[in-house]
Copies of this chain bind each other. A is one copy, B any other.
Amino acid sequence: MSAPLVELVDIEKHFGPVIALNGVSVSVKAGECHCLLGDNGAGKSTFIKTMSGVHKPTRGKILVDGKERTFSSPRDAMQAGIATVYQDLAMIPLMSVTRNFWMGREPERRVGPIKVFDFREANEITMNEMAKMGIHLRSPDQAVGTLSGGERQTVAIARAVYFGARVLILDEPTSALGVRQTSNVLATIDKVRKNGIGIVFITHNVRHAMAVGDRFTVLNRGKTLGTAQRGEITAEELQDMMAGGQELAQLEGSLGGTV
C-alpha cells in the first residue's frame, strides 16, 4: 500500500484541566476513506481540529508526506493540502454561493493598479464544480441560506476538492441529513475518493461508516481503541467498541438488534 499522505502520531491535547486527547495516532492514505468513530465527547472534533490547524497539539507530531510539520493556522494546513468541512460551520448563509465557495482564496484579476475579485471566473468555476457534484444552481449569486442542508454540504465538499485538497476531513456531514441527502453525500465521498484524495470521515453512524469506509478508527475518552481494515470488522463489533459494550447489552434485551 501507498505511504500515508498525512500521519498524526501520539497527539495529546489539553484544554486547561481537561484532557481532550491523550495519545491518538491516525494516518490517511491517498484514495482511502478513513472513518473516525466515537461517542460524544470522545475527542473526534478536537482531533480533526488539530489536524486542520485550528488547535495546536499539546504533544505529538504531524507528518505530511513523511515530513514533520507544524500548523499555526488553518491556512497552513490548507496549504499543505488538508481541507476540512465542519459540521455546522460549513457556510455563511447570508453570502452568495460563489462568495462562500471562494472564501479565503478569492481569485484575483488586475484592473489597472489594483487587484479585484475576479467574479466572472469565480462564478463560472463555481457553477461547473457544483454541476460536477450534481447540484445545479439557479444562479451563483444565490444566497447559501436558500440552499438545503445537503446542498450546503456539497458546496463545502466541492470547494475543498477544487482547491486541490489531498486530504479532505468531513466532521459528521450526515448527521442532520435525510436518507436521500445522506446518500448523495456518501456518493460524493465515493467520487472524491476515486480521484485519489484521502478522506477522514467522522460519524456516529456505523452504517454510514461501513458504507464508504476503508479503515476504521474508534476513539474513546481521548484514546484510540484501535484501527481496523474494511472486512476485518463487522458493524456490530464497531458499535460495541464505540459504546464500550456494556449499556448496549442491557438495551438489546429490551429492544433487540443493533442501533
Contacts and interface: CB of A to CB of B under 8 A. Distances in A.
Given A207-B207, A259-B207, A40 B183 contact: no
Contact of A178 (B39, B179, B180, B250): B39
Contact of A258 (B178, B207, B247): B207
A175 interface: yes
Tell me if A's interface is mostly helix, strand, loop or mixed: helix
A242 B179 contact: yes
Nearest to A249: B183
Interface stretch (A19-27, A102-110, A208-216): A208-216
- Tallying the copies of this chain within the complex gives 2
Interface in A139-153: 148-150
Chain A contact residues (Cβ within 8 angstroms of B): what range?
A: 35 or more
Given A187-B250, A255-B186, A257-B211, A175 B178 contact: no
Nearest to A187: B251
A206 to B, nearest CB: 8
Nearest to A175: B175
21 contacts: A39-B179, A40-B148, A40-B150, A40-B176, A40-B177, A40-B180, A40-B181, A42-B178, A175-B175, A178-B243, A179-B204, A179-B239, A179-B243, A180-B244, A180-B248, A183-B248, A187-B255, A190-B254, A205-B205, A207-B259, A210-B257
